[in-house]
Amino acid sequence: MVGSALMRLLREKNFTHIITQSKTELDLRRQSDVENFFKTTRIDTVILAAAKVGGILINSKRPADFLYENLLIQNNVIEAARLGGVKTIVFLGSSCIYPRLCPQPMKEEYLLSGPLEPTNEGYALAKISGLRMVQYYDQQYGMKGICPMPCNMYGPNDCWDLERSHVLSALVRKFCEAIDDGKKEVTLWGTGSARREFLHVDDCARAIFLLMEKNIGPDTVNVGYGEDISIRELAELITTKTGFQGKLVWDSSKPDGMPKKLLDISRLQSFGFQPQVKIEEGVDFMIEDFRRRKREGLLPPASAF
């Protein structure tokens, strides 16, 4: 999702020397393959958007996979980039790596100031290690690091698999299919009280490009929308947008995750960034994208929730 948004933006800005590799072409978990790629390909700047990601369900079920595979990906790429003479590496963090009970809004300096959220600890530990690795490589080897810290993202090429998806796409799918199936109620995880910040992936790409243009140092920079919304409010917005008329049932036996995740984006704003896509517009796009994909038979099976 992030990689394709960056590709759209770079092409829009007339960049022509863009090097990409699909997972089938280059498995970033294989150290020798990654090192050979960097040895044989001249690269000045790496944007590491690749990661094993998912929502609260799969993070809770497979923490070892999220820790192991993300460590493999980032360790291989960062070290191979150094060996290959890369000048700059952009490493994407995540707002979920802040402490579970972090003061709000979350400032960059709050990282590592308290215990992590248990439902995504494996992923968070890997991402924290990656951030520190980039900062240490900047310090020790002079390979410049840039570390954007995005909030929850959504948009084109989002994941629609309910076992792996994040909350916004999962809610859109559940309500659209409830309408199609004539359901009178939809059961949702948690209490609905948790608050999240959502940023359209094209806005995220613009922020990343801005940080590269400004040539900032390796200190983390929060990338967000600047406002949050409760999961209950988001669900109600999507029911209105989709036209679902049934009942919402909240299963409080399921986890909410972090109570609140709102980034302090004052540092990013000081560079001139303002998001362009409002959540209402973004939800409209996601509903249309889901319905189009369903018409064209492009959806994975609804295997969870």
Contact of 14 with 165, CB cutoff 8 Å:
no
What residues are paired with 146 via a beta bridge? 90
40 CB burial (10 A radius; 0-12, 13-18, 19+): exposed
Phi, psi of 115 (to 5 degrees): -60, 150
Q: How far is CA 221 from CA 98, 108, 238, in A?
A: 13, 7, 30
CA separation for the pair 96, 110 (Å, rounded): 12
For residues 162 and 290, the answer to whether their CB atoms sit within 8 Å is no
CA distance 114 to 236: 32
Distance CA 257, CA 95 (A): 13
Kindly state the tokens that stand for 205: 């790409």
Contact status, residue 216 vs residue 146, Cβ threshold 8 Å = yes
Look up residue 100 and give its two tokens.
Answer: 């579970």
Catalytically active residues are: 123
As given in the structure block, the two tokens for residue 1 are: 């999702």
- Listed in sequence order, the DSSP H helices in 215-278 are 231-242, 266-270
